[in-house]
Amino acid sequence: MTSDQDSLLAETQRINYRLRSTFFYRKLKEYSTLSFPLRISELAQVEHLYSWSGCTDWGIGEDAFAYVCGNENLQLIEVFCHPRLIREHSTLVAYYRNIAVLSQKAVRNLVNVDVKRVETNGENRYPLTENQAWQLAHLFNEHISLIIDSSIESLTKEELHGILLTSTGAQIDGSWRNAIGEEAEKVVQRLLVKEAKERDLLVALIPRIGTAIELYDPEKLEEQLGNIEFYRGVMLSNHTSILFPVSQIFHYLIIKVQRLV
């Protein structure tokens, strides 16, 4: 390999890892992983409204259940999945799935329930049927009970949160290889918007859907950059605009370069 090839490979690796870093950060925010503990703690206020009399039918092991009930630092809905709860708050499927350390693909293979759209819809527009909720709760609780049993009944709240983050990280890592081209495009688009802002040229963002224009607002820019895929370009104060191409060629080149690493 020539020195030029060595330099190209080294630069390719630098770009690859930089894109991976931004991808992980963006996905962590997109999955709202860090918000789950707070959401669960808020629901803990009404935990007494959920009956656990049928918990063994939901895949919860007796020893694991007794351990959580006897641990003053853990709450039942924080650890185990109640089928009624995920019907009422279907996006929490992602929380229990990650506590059980199961990927979306694993859930689909094991119980034939596609949870991806359920987890990503913040408005709970895709409610689970009673049977789906039971299947998911049973699957998650079996795995969670196994984790508690394997810990020799020593699982702590901190370890529970650690499992949540570790499982989310594994999911992000699994989707990384298929998303490198998309991530590279988004990074370039964000840099273009930021450069326009720095030059005092940015006036508005052009949504991909509809004809409404979103005027530039410094307080909303960070949120808009986080959702850059929803925009097809920006309008500038010099009577020009920048349109983001949906470039399949760009994606192809990035993936080809990645294979050199």
Three-state SS for 18-70 is HHHHHHHHHHHHHCCHHHHHHHHHHHHHHHHHCCCCCHHHHCCCHHHHHHHHC
Last residue of a domain, one of 176, 209, 239: 176
Q: Are residues 96 and 63 in the same domain?
A: yes
Range of the domain at 247: 180-258
Strands 202-207 and 241-243: unpaired
- 190 band by pLDDT with thresholds 50, 70 and 90: confident
Whole-number average pLDDT of the chain = 84
- Has residue 25 been placed in a domain? no
Least confident stretch, 67-76, 90-99, 178-187, 252-261: 252-261
pLDDT for res 163: 93
Whether residue 184 is predicted with pLDDT greater than 80 in this model: the reply is no
- Asked if residue 259 has pLDDT above 70, the reply is no
Q: What is the pTM of this model?
A: 0.67
User: Could you give the CA distance from residue 115 to residue 2 in angstroms, rounded to a whole number?
Assistant: 48
Q: How confident is the model at residue 225 (pLDDT cuts 50, 70, 90)?
A: confident
Give the span between the Cα atoms of 155 and 149, in whole angstroms.
9
Domain boundary among 144, 176, 208: 176
Q: Is residue 7 domain-resident? A: no
Verify that 236 and 147 share a domain, yes or no: no
Query: Residue 122 corresponds to which amino acid?
Result: G
Distance CA 90, CA 81 (A): 11
Q: Indicate if the pLDDT at residue 15 is higher than 70.
A: no
Does residue 221 sit in the same domain as residue 120?
A: no
CB 136 within 8 A of CB 99: no
8 domain-assigned: no
Same domain for 73 and 144: yes
What are 258's two structure tokens? 């990645």
Check residue 239 and report its DSSP letter.
Answer: S
> Are 100 and 143 a contacting pair, CB within 8 Å?
yes
Residue with tokens 């370069």: 257
The interaxial angle of helices 130-150 and 104-111, nearest 10 deg, is: 120
Last residue in a domain, options 151, 176, 201: 176
pLDDT grade, residue 230 (50/70/90)? confident
Tokens of 173: 């890592």
Q: Is 6 exposed, middle or buried (0-12, 13-18, 19+ CB in 10 A)?
A: exposed
pLDDT at position 12 is 59
- The two tokens of residue 8 are 């190209």
- Residue at 21 is within a domain: no
